[in-house]
């Protein structure tokens, strides 16, 4: 059995043919064009080739109407209320077609094949252009009534902190999303243009870059500890572009987590980097259909 997986992001599209063991048989990527649907179709047909497929799973940036799979990604102006699930169903009729939030897919991927393998309860976080997440509770993906469970990005970490795109203030996303971290550093004279440059400068000892990543790491660690206490978790997995920033991020992140996760039942709790790297989203999208109802609770 093999399925098609699609990962739709604001800057890139990726598709893969994935077998039931989670092996990526073929994959393809492209920058996200202004009109993404023809490019999605192209990529999917390219990786399918003449293989038969028994389902299609897709991850896409939120928000979306779920489980209908009508998507309105924040950073894709041309897709507003786009019927992604319906379009995929029309093209691949007769097989399961499932669409979920990309950060939720990443959590599912890490649970299925990554560092969360065999762990019944975890939070998976993606710290990137935004900050998102997904929850596995009792061995199954927890969707929430509208499919929006996992929104760790809107846990308040700095009550008097910056305004957030959601309308609130001091949300984790407002503090720790890559562009916010870079902007915070730039205001203090740092020349980095993106998260990768910021991490390089921090690695070379730049004080402002280090302070910017420390602030973000502390916020991530604190939110992770709060959720671990709330949900009785022993594992939080952190992926996404900014999570690749090395010790300048991870030192303060782990410190904040362990300083805060002190209740007896949190003994042994850990916050760790995602394992599957750039493939997490694709494998999670595949998991929506390959793993029965473990990562899918809807019709």
Q: Do 63 and 44 touch, CB atoms closer than 8 A?
A: no
Site for a second copy contains 159 (CB under 8 A): yes
Measured distance CA(227)–CA(178) in Å, rounded:
21
Determine what percent of the chain falls in helix, strand and coil, rounding each to the nearest 5: 40, 25, 35
Query: Binding pattern to a second copy, positions 26-65, x when CB under 8 A?
Result: -------------------------------------x--
Q: What is the CA radius of gyration of the chain?
A: 19
The sheet with strand 70-71 has its strands ordered as 64-65, 70-71, 82-83
**Ramachandran class of 206: left when φ > 0, alpha when ψ lies in -120 to 50, beta otherwise:** beta
Query: Binding pattern to a second copy, positions 242-271, x when CB under 8 A?
Result: -----------------xxxxxxx------
Among the listed residues 275, 7, 9, 248, the one whose alpha carbon sits nearest the alpha carbon of residue 124: 275
Segment contacting a second copy (CB under 8 A): 33-41, 53-61, 229-237, 275-283?
229-237
Q: Select the residue interacting with a second copy from 121, 206, 254, 279 (CB under 8 A).
A: 121
Q: Select the residue interacting with a second copy from 19, 120, 197, 200 (CB under 8 A).
A: 120
Segment contacting a second copy (CB under 8 A): 25-33, 190-198, 231-239, 281-289?
231-239
Segment contacting a second copy (CB under 8 A): 49-57, 87-95, 130-138, 190-198?
130-138
Q: Select the residue interacting with a second copy from 229, 244, 247, 272 (CB under 8 A).
A: 229
Measured distance CA(255)–CA(42) in Å, rounded:
45
In the DSSP assignment, the letter for residue 167 is S
- Cβ nearer to a second copy, comparing 9 with 147: 147
Segment contacting a second copy (CB under 8 A): 10-18, 30-38, 79-87, 137-145?
137-145
- Cβ nearer to a second copy, comparing 135 with 185: 135
Measured distance CA(245)–CA(211) in Å, rounded:
13
Measured distance CA(204)–CA(25) in Å, rounded:
39
Q: Select the residue interacting with a second copy from 45, 232, 246, 278 (CB under 8 A).
A: 232
CB of 197 to a second copy, least distance (A): 28
Residue 54, number of CB atoms within 10 A of its CB: 15
Measured distance CA(26)–CA(215) in Å, rounded:
39
In the DSSP assignment, the letter for residue 110 is H
Tell me, by CB under 8 A, how many residues bind a second copy. 45
Q: Select the residue interacting with a second copy from 39, 137, 211, 247 (CB under 8 A).
A: 137
Q: Do 91 and 263 touch, CB atoms closer than 8 A?
A: no
Segment contacting a second copy (CB under 8 A): 19-27, 105-113, 159-167, 237-245?
159-167
- Cβ nearer to a second copy, comparing 14 with 155: 155
Q: Which residues bind a second copy (CB under 8 A)?
A: 63, 120-121, 135, 137-138, 142-152, 154-159, 166-169, 222-223, 225-227, 229-234, 259-265
């Amino acid at each position: 059995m093999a399925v098609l997986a699609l990962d739709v992001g604001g800057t890139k599209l990726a598709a893969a043919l994935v077998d039931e063991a989670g092996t990526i048989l073929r994959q393809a990527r492209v920058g996200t064009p202004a009109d993404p649907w023809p490019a999605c179709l192209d990529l999917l047909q390219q990786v399918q080739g003449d293989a038969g497929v028994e389902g299609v799973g897709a991850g896409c940036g939120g928000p979306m109407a779920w489980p209908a799979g009508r998507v309105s990604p924040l950073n894709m102006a041309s897709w507003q209320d786009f019927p992604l699930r319906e379009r995929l169903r029309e093209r691949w009729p007769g097989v399961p077609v499932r669409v979920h939030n990309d950060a939720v897919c990443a959590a599912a991927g890490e649970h299925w094949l990554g560092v969360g393998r065999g762990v019944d309860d975890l939070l998976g976080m993606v710290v990137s252009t935004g900050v998102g997440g997904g929850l596995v509770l009792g061995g199954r993906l927890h969707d929430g009534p509208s499919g929006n469970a996992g929104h760790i990005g809107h846990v308040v970490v700095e009550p008097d902190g910056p305004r957030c795109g959601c309308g609130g203030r001091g949300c984790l996303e407002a503090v720790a999303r890559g562009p916010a971290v870079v902007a915070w550093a730039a205001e203090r004279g740092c020349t980095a243009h993106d998260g990768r440059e910021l991490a390089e400068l921090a690695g070379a000892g730049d004080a402002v870059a280090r302070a910017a990543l420390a602030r973000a790491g502390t916020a991530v660690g604190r939110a992770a500890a709060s959720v671990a206490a709330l949900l009785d978790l022993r594992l939080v997995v952190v992926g996404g572009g900014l999570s690749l920033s090395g010790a300048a991020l991870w030192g303060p992140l782990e410190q904040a987590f362990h300083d805060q996760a002190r209740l007896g039942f949190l003994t042994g709790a850990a916050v760790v980097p995602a394992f599957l790297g750039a493939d997490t989203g694709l494998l999670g999208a595949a998991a929506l259909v390959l793993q029965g109802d473990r990562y899918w609770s809807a019709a």
